Amino acid sequence: MCGRYVSTRRPEDLVQHFRATEWRPEETLAPSWNVAPTDEVWAVLERTPREERDGDGTSVRRELRPLRWGLVPSWAKDVKIGARMINARMETVHEKPAFRRAFVKRRCLLPADGFYEWQQITSGDTARPRKQPYFIHPEDGQVMALAGLYEYWRNPEVARDDDPAAWLTTCTIITTEATDAAGRVHPRMPLALTTDHYDAWLDPRNQHPGELRELLGTPGDGHLGARPVSSAVNDVRNNGPELLEAAAP
């Protein structure tokens, strides 16, 4: 699974890298070295403007916008379900009730510097096992584009649709079998897409499940590095570049 990750890139840099055409400068997120479930995170997605949705569907805009991590299905009775929907397995994402509609219509990319995983280790025959956190990241330092889904949830307690409080937009990260250094730490990892798959994954007009699943066949190119880090990352209240410093395993 992926329960924590790092996202410190400036929105201006993300707009350029992902070729986004829509971003509101007033929407800002602080850099985070300890992104946790229910946090606001940067997402890249494509949408047809509301005023043009009755047309031929050719006008699609690529947006950079903050979403809440932890997908809340449109049919959910309570937003608390989102805390349990931070990941969607690649093998079943197209058929699970919580994700299958979003898989066809609402896909996104979640920029990350890397992610954390925990490995259970034991020191000595009688020592109690503990979980050692590792920071896993591209060795070349490039941004990761984690494959994700997003969904809208309508708050029934707000009367007007045009009230910003009426809608909550949330997201989830798709995971797959771990490779490279990640596979030595944990059996699962977030699935990162290569740049040549960005367009096909984001395009809301691409609604063929079989073709979409082919994009998720293997993790993105590039070798991953992994280094043990301090257990300070275990506490979501800790946040800063010092979390990435190598620690003795």
Place of tokens 């990941």: 87
> How is residue 229 annotated by DSSP?
B
CA 29 – CA 108 distance, rounded (Å):
18
Element (H, E) at 184: helix 182-185
CA 69 – CA 66 distance, rounded (Å):
9
Annotated catalytic residues are 2, 117
SS3 169: strand
**What is the reported pLDDT for 46?**
97
The CATH code for residues 4-115+141-175+187-220 is 3.90.1680.10
CA 68 – CA 76 distance, rounded (Å):
15
**What is the reported pLDDT for 53?**
57
C-alpha separations of 198 from 67, 114, 223, 234, 245 in Å: 19, 18, 19, 32, 31
Give the residue among 64, 237, 48, 203 at the shortest CA–CA distance from 143: 64
- Our measurement of the distance from residue 4's CA atom to the centroid of its chain's CA atoms, rounded to an integer in Å, reads 10
**66 beta partners:** 42
- Our measurement of the distance from residue 68's CA atom to the centroid of its chain's CA atoms, rounded to an integer in Å, reads 10
**What is the reported pLDDT for 13?**
97
Domain extents in the chain? 4-115+141-175+187-220
CA 236 – CA 137 distance, rounded (Å):
20
CA 40 – CA 28 distance, rounded (Å):
10
Give the residue among 166, 174, 189, 223 at the shortest CA–CA distance from 43: 174
- Each residue's pLDDT tens digit in the chain (249 positions)? 789 999 999 999 999 999 999 999 999 999 999 999 999 999 999 998 765 555 555 689 999 999 999 999 999 999 999 999 999 999 999 999 999 999 999 999 999 999 999 998 876 655 678 899 999 999 999 999 999 999 999 999 888 888 888 999 999 999 998 876 666 788 889 999 999 999 999 999 998 888 898 888 755 555 889 999 999 999 999 999 999 999 986
**What is the reported pLDDT for 201?**
96
**What is the reported pLDDT for 220?**
52
* Residue 42 φ/ψ, nearest 5 degrees: -75, 140
